[in-house]
Structure 1
Amino acid sequence: MSKKGPRERYVYVLDFLRDGNPLDRHSWHKNKPLLQVLGEDYFILMEAFPLTDLIQLEQRIDRDQEPPLIKVDVLIGYDDLTAVARDNLVKTLDRIITEKEAQFVNFFNRAEPLTLRLHALELLPDIGKKTLRTILEERKRSPFTSFKDIEDRVGIKGVKDILKKRILTEIKREDKYLLFVYPIESDKKAQDQKYIGYLERIRQG
């Protein structure tokens, strides 16, 4: 595992602190413009320096574009986020899940047992043994094609919200299994966590 984790090409702006963050644990962030951002693929939280004033909250930024708009400095955890960043995190996750619907639907089609007694799908909120059995039976008949298809055939509501809650749980490091969020070595809890990385597997085919 890389100390800095995989590189996130696309990030979303969660907060823009134009005068710096006096509460930041990094002394060099206290009095200069600072961004808190979320990576699109691995949900890695970072702090970055803006290279232009023309950056908006919730903006999606391509780190490979020229000239660059930001310079990533450090990786951070959920506890480092400002109140504004935490509010925008929820909205940003909603946007990412919507735009990556096909990948998340594929997760429902491909998820496997993690242990003899625990299936990956059971880590999702509101998915118990009975619902798990229905999901496995339905996907065996034919693969799911959309969130609505899952909801209609399985009888559950708010698949997008279920996924959002799970990703938030992982970002907060409240479970040792990480289905979607990449752990970083600088995180004190990383050594106790198990990265499953379903979206990464799906992107790789």
Structure 2
Amino acid sequence: MSDPRRRRQIKTPSGPKKKAAGPDLSKYKLKSATGRQEVPKPQPKPDPSQQRSGGRRGDQQRRQGGGQRGGHHGGRQGGRGQGRRDQPRPEPEALKTETYARILEHDDGTGIATAMAEKSLAFCRLKLKGSEAMALNQRIYIGKDASKRTDVAAIIGMAHLDKMSNMARQDLPNLVQLFIEEHAQYFVDEFYNKAGPMSLKQHSYELLPDVGPVKARNMVKARDQVGVFASMDELNALAKVKGAELLAQRFVEELEDKTLMPRLTELLLPVTA
């Protein structure tokens, strides 16, 4: 039997249970039902031919507008270019001390000639006065005295060997050789009679093309037999060489290669005889 003193703990409902609160829907914006909506009908595609024609019209309008703008700019540029052409060009500094030049190439159609200055063998472009063709090696005055410039209308500028025609490059060795032959005695006295050893193993004669140690020694022996060469003809006969041609080939090599050292063109030019 249970102890009467133990109280029975019986849970009795205190009242009706409250339903649990549902979610607060006030913060959500709900759309009211609108029923079925109409589906938009597909639109027909535009005709490509109309697009092309419209594009052409737009391109034509843009071209016309650009042409008008370009015309204005072209007019201004043309005016500036015309002003520059009217101004005389200053003559190159490299030719300020030159007095004569030799014709290398002449275009009688345009009157433009390429010439070689005598003192430095520098190349220049000239505008000639007459229409008569000038021959290779023809000597013309390019000095400061305008009254003596009977053949030259203007000195256009310097000429570069790598931009010359093939004919001019082929004629260059002949032009230089003709120049040396006209001053043969000067080059015999200043080079062939004064040339000496550059080192224990090399003589100055070896600077000439196709002249090695053996030929250089033979040239020295030929010079020692007569003391000095009296002329270019005597040099050619005793040393069995072509003195003017060899020296011309060396000059051309130095004109083509600015790094070639030593430079006989700088040591022997200008001609002072």
The TM-score normalised by the length of structure 2 is: 0.55
1:47 aligns with 2:131: no
1:126-205 aligned at under 5 Å gives the runs 126-141=210-225, 142-154=227-239, 156-173=240-257, 175-180=260-265, 195=266, 197-200=267-270, 203=272
Higher relative contact order (CA 8 A, sep 6+): 1
Kindly state the Cα deviation for residue 126 of structure 1 after the two structures are TM-superposed: 2.4
1:102 aligns with 2:195: no
Unaligned stretches of 5+ residues in structure 1: 21-32, 181-194
Kindly state the Cα deviation for residue 61 of structure 1 after the two structures are TM-superposed: 0.6
Output the amino acid matched with 1:203.
T
- Of 162-171 and 117-126, deviating more is 117-126
Q: Give the one of 179, 200, 208 matched to 1:124.
A: 208
3-state SS of 1:203 partner = coil
Output the amino acid matched with 1:198.
L
Residues 111 and 198 (structure 1 numbering): CA distance in 2 closer, same or farther, change over 3 Å?
farther
The answer as to whether partners of 1:101 and 1:147 remain within 8 angstroms in 2 is: yes
Kindly state the Cα deviation for residue 91 of structure 1 after the two structures are TM-superposed: 2.8
Output the amino acid matched with 2:252.
L
**Aligned twin of 1:4:** 94
- Of 113-122 and 41-50, deviating more is 113-122
The answer as to whether partners of 1:14 and 1:84 remain within 8 angstroms in 2 is: no
Q: CA RMSD in A?
A: 2.8
Q: Alignment identity in percent?
A: 21
- Of 109-118 and 57-66, deviating more is 109-118
Kindly state the Cα deviation for residue 117 of structure 1 after the two structures are TM-superposed: 4.5
Kindly state the Cα deviation for residue 150 of structure 1 after the two structures are TM-superposed: 1.4
**Aligned twin of 1:26:** none
1:111 aligns with 2:195: yes
- Of 39-48 and 59-68, deviating more is 59-68
The answer as to whether partners of 2:108 and 2:133 remain within 8 angstroms in 1 is: no
Q: Distance in 2 between matches of 1:35 and 1:105?
A: 31
Name the larger-Rg structure: 2
Unaligned stretches of 5+ residues in structure 2: 1-91
Output the amino acid matched with 1:172.
E
Kindly state the Cα deviation for residue 159 of structure 1 after the two structures are TM-superposed: 2.3
CA offset digits 1:60-98 (Å, max 9, x no partner): 112247341223232223112122322332332232122
Kindly state the Cα deviation for residue 99 of structure 1 after the two structures are TM-superposed: 0.8
Q: Distance in 1 between matches of 2:124 and 2:224?
A: 40
3-state SS of 1:90 partner = helix
**Which one has the bigger strand percentage?**
1
Output the amino acid matched with 2:141.
D
Q: Distance in 2 between matches of 1:10 and 1:88?
A: 19
Kindly state the Cα deviation for residue 144 of structure 1 after the two structures are TM-superposed: 0.4
**Aligned twin of 1:75:** 158
Output the amino acid matched with 1:14.
L
Between the two proteins, the alignment pairs up a number of residues equal to 174
Kindly state the Cα deviation for residue 177 of structure 1 after the two structures are TM-superposed: 2.6
Kindly state the Cα deviation for residue 124 of structure 1 after the two structures are TM-superposed: 0.3
